[in-house]
Structure 1
Amino acid sequence: MSDLRNAAMTSKAWPFEEARRILKRYEKAPPEKGFVLFETGYGPSGLPHIGTFGEVLRTTMVRRAFEVISDIPTRLICFSDDLDGLRKVPDNVPNPEMLAEHLQRPLTSVPDPFGEHESFGHHNNAMLRRFLDTFGFEYEFQSAREFYRSGRFDETLLLAAERYDALMEVMLASLREERQQTYSIFLPISPSSGRVLYVPLKNVDGAKGEITFDDEDGTEVTLPVTGGNVKLQWKPDFGARWAALGVDFEPYGKEHAPNTPIYSKICEILGGRPPEVFTYELFLDAEGQKISKSKGNGLSIDEWLTYAATESLSYFMYQKPKTAKRLWWDVIPKAVDEYHQQLRAYADQDVNARLNNPVFHIHGHDVPTSDMVVPFAMLLNLASVSGAEDKETMWGFIRRYAPEASPATHPHLDEAAGFAVRYYNDFVKPGKVYRAPDDTERAAMEDLLARLRAWDGGLDAEELQSMVFAVGKAHGFEPLRDWFKALYEVLLGASQGPRFGGFIALYGIEESIALIEAGLAGTLATEPVAS
């Protein structure tokens, strides 16, 4: 066993902890199907959101971790429950009145309100696949519509009809009394209207694999459970799919956790072995509300990628999956800088530290090097004080600070400079609030101004930081962070900011002198300081 595998067997990184649980399933014998199956589920009743992406990413991280500790082949299926009936019209789609006419029809039978695909379900499936392909995931897409209609699910559906009473016993025990009166694990699809019907069944013939019910017009109908004539209610569908596919690992949000025993029992009745499940916490919007497909609240994947690279989103998803996280615009800069900090650390780490580093789980064995010689947060401040409208303006400052850097040799930095200009103009600029310094702050800034005018130490960021630090100490700021907070609020219009010595080195001595002069004169709120 290699050093890498040995280290992985004791690593406390959560993907390795999950991978070891999966490996334990097969400590006596390898899987009869010849591979370990990872699955993620998606309900295309609304546009895919960032949480859906996170589920596939995290499963991919566990899959990669498993492939480090085992030679058993793996597969990843992304399953779309697109045979589900449209229960309500989402808030974030066009032509809602058109969708309202198709409530309870299978999502793949509902017209596409965007007018681009065969159905609403097909549209949302295409969006999901585009998102996943953007990130280079290796996965197999499975559609419930095809799964039910193609015959792949027939054996399990027939077994469900045969063992109907046992399955119903599990489900009825979880339902309120009034719901028990009409509940069935099978939902017939009306041959007349095409709607998914929530109706009581008059008979289930386990030997023939048929159900009998009254259609919407009162006509008694008998249908086989195969051929796409029915779909299972969502809880039985979960467990039945586990049994039919032989799923070994599936993640889902904490709202599913109370149902895990039900899913597992259904799976066992249908001859399967329940998978290892990974329950993660939910993403929250700016107000702390759960992100919803139908509401469209929270950030979308496309919105994140408008302001930062894909790797920063992957980094955000890796962090503490069992902790609820607020997912809003202001988390992006922090994620970008922390991701690059981890990249820089990776190069000098031993194998144990590397396996605990998020970038290993983002990139696998091919971890790139970081060329971000300027942090993203500092690029934002540079865009602010320079009034940059494009990244070419930013590069005028970057080249002076790091002469060896160029867009060709530092592509990530070049990309980040463009993102910083866009992010600043869309989010930072509208919320900037400058203030005047008080007497103590004014005296300290005038001292800093004098020292910068006399400065002959070049653009060494650490020396400049020490000088700024010394000014704060000399003027009695306690704690010293109040000095830096004053600089940020007076000069940058924000309560937080970069290491100020590094900022001076990047922006330039003369430019920083002009900035402080403008701050003392109270003119920063009206226009940026020209370079």
Structure 2
Amino acid sequence: MPIVAQSTETTDWVSRFADEVIEASERRAPGKPVVVASGLSPSGPIHLGNLREVMTPHLVADEVRRRGHEVRHLISWDDYDRYRKVPAGIDGVDETWAEHIGRPLTSVPAPKGSSYPNWAEHFKAAMTAALAELGVEFDGISQTAQYTSGVYRDQVLHAMRHRGDIDAILDQYRTKAKPGQKPKQGQKPVDEAELEAAEGSGAAAEDDGSAGSAGYFPYKPYCGGCGKDLTTVTAYDDDTTELTYTCAGCGFSETVLLSEFNRGKLVWKVDWPMRWAYEGVIFEPSGVDHSSPGSSFQVGGQIVGIFGGEQPIGPMYAFVGISGMAKMSSSRGGVPTPADALKIMEPQLLRWLYARRRPNQSFKIAFDQEIQRLYDEWDKLAAKVEDGSALPGDLAAYARAVGTAAGDLPRTPRPLPYRTLASVADITAGDRAQAVRILSELDPAHPLAALDEVRPRFDRAEEWINTQVPADQRTVVRAEPDAELLGSLDEEARTSLRLLLDGLDDHWSLDGLTHLVYGVPKVQAGFSADATPKELPPEIKVAQRTFFARLYHLLVGRDTGPRLPTLLLAVGQERVRTLLGG
């Protein structure tokens, strides 16, 4: 049975937003489905920072569904946006892709070797697959399809009729110079980092259109000659909808009837609020780059009224980082995506990272050793949920992580500690039979019957070891004893090894070996192996560290390695005895 987080018993951020969303929906559109929205631009790999654009409304939508309401979660694929730059680090892409800058993303060729028809579809596919694995239900909307089929024709014509009103609103906020332009007196320089942060969100350039000699127009055609958006509207007639434009790129010019013309789009700061009104969006978050004065969300709150709509409830969400990496940017290459994260962690853990933090709290996703600590924390929470001791807010986050209103996500039947599975995967290096043997000996009273019992967690841990742990940190067990080191040991050190070897038979399990390796230095110092830290002098910890380092050197030739109990099980009794001189 799925764990259900009752909103009346929790004070988590998701429940609070669900309360607001339901109230707003009943006021604005009684009897209709609740609409929440996300916007993603497939301009390159859609990274884990962009995932917050989806997970925030998903979690709220799912809570609203749990309460019995019909919900639509829209994801607008901003695939009719212009291709702005050639992202770095994309396989199958070279400098020749620069010739497509200015064209719609759906008119740019996919990377070489891709099975998808264009650039946008190539990058949408990976995100769609990851969202399915994460249990995210959504209605996808291609903005290319919407514009080129004339769905927004009435809205475009309406915006053109009211271009003076739109221009007056935008003019109140035109306080920044454009990228690469020297600020005029009183203007603020544009923050290039802000533009980088916006990538993937569907609003990278914060475009509000421009005024030429014919005045301001909130619509930009794609050129009929070169297909790019390097165009300027030079004339427009409201009565006939006759529009003339010229292209600064290729010199092409033409006159069209906007009431029939479908090769262009509203500029971003007008396009977004138009969609709020058209779709009846109640809830849509935005990144910090859109929430400053004069940015698209703030300005859109005034423009949406021109289209007869209301601004959605729109919490600001903070950046998501990666352990050991700087702030994410799609154009810089090597940015982890949701698909990358799901190769090394289960969907439940990734959902939990987004569910447990309020949208305005930044957090990091671990691709380094920190992932082991995160999994330990997750498993402790699962144990508290199981025994009923979890706090309401933690229980709510857990419930939102393990499943949705539709039911629980598939899970690992026997979720052994991630760090243990990673150590086993490290030591066995793909030997499945050896992995099963070691895992079966962790708990002899409940031996593992097959590797499937610890999947998919084992596979995620193995992938982490193989792709994220540097080669010089991998564990290689010695082929032969270190005769020189063994010969140099004093009597006390040899005694410690003898105590360990004598106890192997009776302690050959994960818990037993843990007790044994920590107990040897205690016994040598005249204490019981069961003595607690409070009963022991501080120097015992020093003796334990010295003992552990000695074992690591004798077994793997380093000061550190996987947890010793796991390592000993992996090496096997016979080989342990050989390497330790027994």
Tell me if both proteins adopt one fold, taking TM over 0.5 as the criterion: yes
For residues 431 and 443 of structure 1, do their structure 2 counterparts lie closer, same or farther at Cα, with a shift above 3 Å needed? farther
Given that 1:407 and 1:414 are in contact with CA atoms closer than 8 Å, whether structure 2 keeps it comes out as no
- Which aligned pairs between 1:8-407 and structure 2 lie closer than 5 A? 8-26=7-25, 29=27, 31-32=29-30, 34-68=32-66, 70-91=67-88, 92-114=90-112, 115-176=114-175, 182=212, 184-197=217-230, 199=232, 201-209=233-241, 211-216=243-248, 217=251, 219=253, 221-224=255-258, 227-258=261-292, 259=295, 260-285=297-322, 288-320=325-357, 321=359, 322-325=361-364, 327-349=366-388, 352=392, 355-364=395-404, 366-367=407-408, 371-372=413-414, 374-384=416-426, 386-403=427-444, 404-406=446-448
SS state of the match for residue 51, structure 1?
coil
| 1:325 aligned partner, one-letter code | K
C-alpha distance in 2 between matches for 1:14 and 1:494: 45
Q: Deviations over 1:245-280 (max 9, x none)?
A: 111111332222212211222222321111112322
Structure 2 CA distance, aligned partners of 1:317 and 1:76?
17
Distance 2:425 2:276 in 1: 51
Q: Which secondary structure does the structure 2 equivalent of 1:23 belong to?
A: helix
Which amino acid in the other structure matches residue 61 of structure 2? R
CA contact (8 A) 1:80 1:143 kept: yes
Distance 1:344 1:157 in 2: 55
Q: Is the 2:425–2:462 Cα contact (8 Å) retained in structure 1?
A: yes
Q: Which moved more, 1:102-111 or 1:15-24?
A: 15-24
SS at match of 2:76: strand
Query: 1:324 & 1:146 partners in 2: Cα distance?
Result: 35
| AA of the residue aligned to 2:246 | D
**Contact 1:312–1:339 (CA<8 Å) still a contact in 2?**
yes
**Is 2:36–2:281's contact at 8 Å kept on the other side of the alignment?**
yes
SS of 1:294's equivalent in the other structure is helix
- Normalising by structure 2, we get a TM-score of 0.75
RMSD, matched Cα: 3.9
Unpaired runs of 5+ in structure 2?
179-209, 476-481, 526-536
C-alpha contact (below 8 Å) 1:188/1:196 kept by paired residues: yes
Q: Identity percentage over the alignment?
A: 22
Aligned partners of 2:269 and 2:300 also within 8 Å: yes
CA–CA distance in structure 2, aligned partners of residues 226 and 344 of structure 1: 62
Distance in 2 separating the partners of 1:103 and 1:184? 22
CA distance 1:398–1:215, shift in 2 (3 Å): closer
Give 3-state SS (helix, strand or coil) of 2:50's partner: helix
Identify if the C-alpha distance between structure 1 residues 58 and 332 changes in structure 2 by more than 3 Å, giving closer, same or farther.
farther
- 3-state SS of paired residue (2:314): strand
Q: 1:289 to 1:353 in 2, by over 3 A?
A: closer
**Residues of 1 paired with 2:420 and 2:161: CA distance?**
65
| Structure 1 CA distance for aligned equivalents of residues 412 and 381 of structure 2 | 9
Matches within 5 A, 1:372-521: 372=414, 374-384=416-426, 386-403=427-444, 404-406=446-448, 408=450, 411=452, 413-428=454-469, 430-432=471-473, 446-455=494-503, 457-459=506-508, 461-462=510-511, 464-472=513-521, 477-478=538-539, 480=541, 483-484=544-545, 487=548, 490=553, 493=558, 498=563, 500=564
Contact kept, 8 Å, 1:150 with 1:227, in 2: the verdict is no
CA contact (8 A) 1:373 1:402 kept: no
- Listed as ranges, the gaps of 5+ residues in structure 1 are 519-531
Rounded to whole Å, the distance in 2 between the matches of 1:355 and 1:512 is 43
What is the DSSP-based 3-state SS (H/G/I as helix, E as strand, rest coil) of the residue aligned with 1:249? coil
SS in 1 for 2:273: helix
* Alignment partners' CA distance in 1, 2:581 and 2:262: 74
Give the corresponding residue for 2:532.
none
Query: Does the aligned pair in 2 maintain the 1:452–1:513 contact within 8 Å?
Result: no
8 A contact 2:246–2:253 mirrored in 1: yes
What's the offset of the Cα at 1:376? 1.6
Letter in 1 for 2:69: I
CA distance in 1 between partners of 2:545 and 2:285 (Å) = 44
> Is contact 2:22-2:34 (8 Å) kept?
no
2:39–2:78 CA contact under 8 A, matched in 1: yes
Give a deviation string over 1:170-229, Cα, whole Å, max 9, x none. 222322587665564221222232211353x44454455554433442646354166423
What displacement does 1:168 show? 1.2
* Alpha-carbon distance between aligned partners in 2 of 1:423 and 1:402, rounded to the nearest angstrom: 24
In structure 2, do the counterparts of structure 1 residues 297 and 257 end up closer, same or farther at CA, with 3 Å as the change threshold? Answer: farther
The change in CA–CA distance for 1:371 and 1:178 in structure 2 (over 3 A counts) is closer
Q: Which amino acid aligns with 1:72?
A: H
Kept after mapping to 1: 8 A contact 2:44/2:87: yes
Letter in 2 for 1:392: A
| Structure 1 contact 81–143 (Cα < 8 Å) conserved | yes
Cα distance, 1:55–1:450 mapped onto 2, change above 3 Å:
farther
CA distance, structure 1, for counterparts of residue 130 and residue 453 of structure 2: 21
**Does 1 or 2 have the higher relative contact order (CA < 8 Å, sep 6+)?**
2
Question: What amino acid is the match of 1:451?
Answer: L
Q: Does the 8 Å contact 2:242/2:257 carry over to 1? A: yes
- TM-score of the two chains, using structure 1 as the length reference: 0.81
Separation in structure 2 between the aligned mates of residue 311 and residue 483 of structure 1, nearest angstrom: 36
Q: Amino acid of the residue matched to residue 458 of structure 1? A: H
The alpha-carbon distance between structure 1 residues 209 and 487, as it changes in their structure 2 partners (threshold 3 A), is farther
Query: What secondary structure, in the 3-state scheme, does the structure 2 residue paired with 1:37 have?
Result: strand
Give, in angstroms, the shift of residue 396 of structure 1: 0.7
Aligned residues: 509
1:402-460 Cα distance to aligned partner (Å, 9 max, x none): 3534455x7351443344444334443613299x99xxx98886554232223264346
Q: Which amino acid aligns with 2:346?
A: A
Deviation at 1:315, TM superposition (A): 3.1
Q: Supply the AA of the counterpart residue of 1:83.
A: Y
